[in-house]
Amino acid sequence: MADAERVSIGFSGGGVVEVKITAAALKDLRKALDSAEGFTDLETDEGVVSINLAEIIFVRSAATSQGIGFGG
């Protein structure tokens, strides 16, 4: 997956899974979260991951700006 980006998926109960997925897969995941029912499969750089949509409480991509320290 040459164009994969790192994504953190947080679950109720405190667990977090980090995966590398394509921008298209991230878009599909966010669309699937609208229904938040059942499981979905994510094609990651390490294989397929099945996740329960109803248990996801956040999705954070590495593309999101995360400024730490002094701004300039």
Determine the average pLDDT of the residues in 18-47: 91
AA identity, residue 40: T
Determine the average pLDDT of the residues in 11-25: 93
Locus of tokens 């094609």: 43
Total Cβ atoms within 10 A of residue 27 = 11
CATH of 5-61, one of 2.60.40.10, 2.70.98.10, 3.30.365.10, 2.30.30.100: 2.30.30.100
What is the pTM for the complete model shown?
A: 0.77
pLDDT band at 11 (very low <50, low <70, confident <90, very high): very high
**For position 37, what pLDDT does the model report?**
83
- Token digits of residue 65: 């700006």
Determine the average pLDDT of the residues in 24-35: 91
Who wins on pLDDT, 54 or 68?
54
CB 26 within 8 A of CB 20: no
Q: Is the Cα torsion angle 33, 61, 56, 49 positive or negative in sign?
A: positive
CB 6 within 8 A of CB 61: yes
Q: Quote the mean pLDDT of the chain.
A: 85
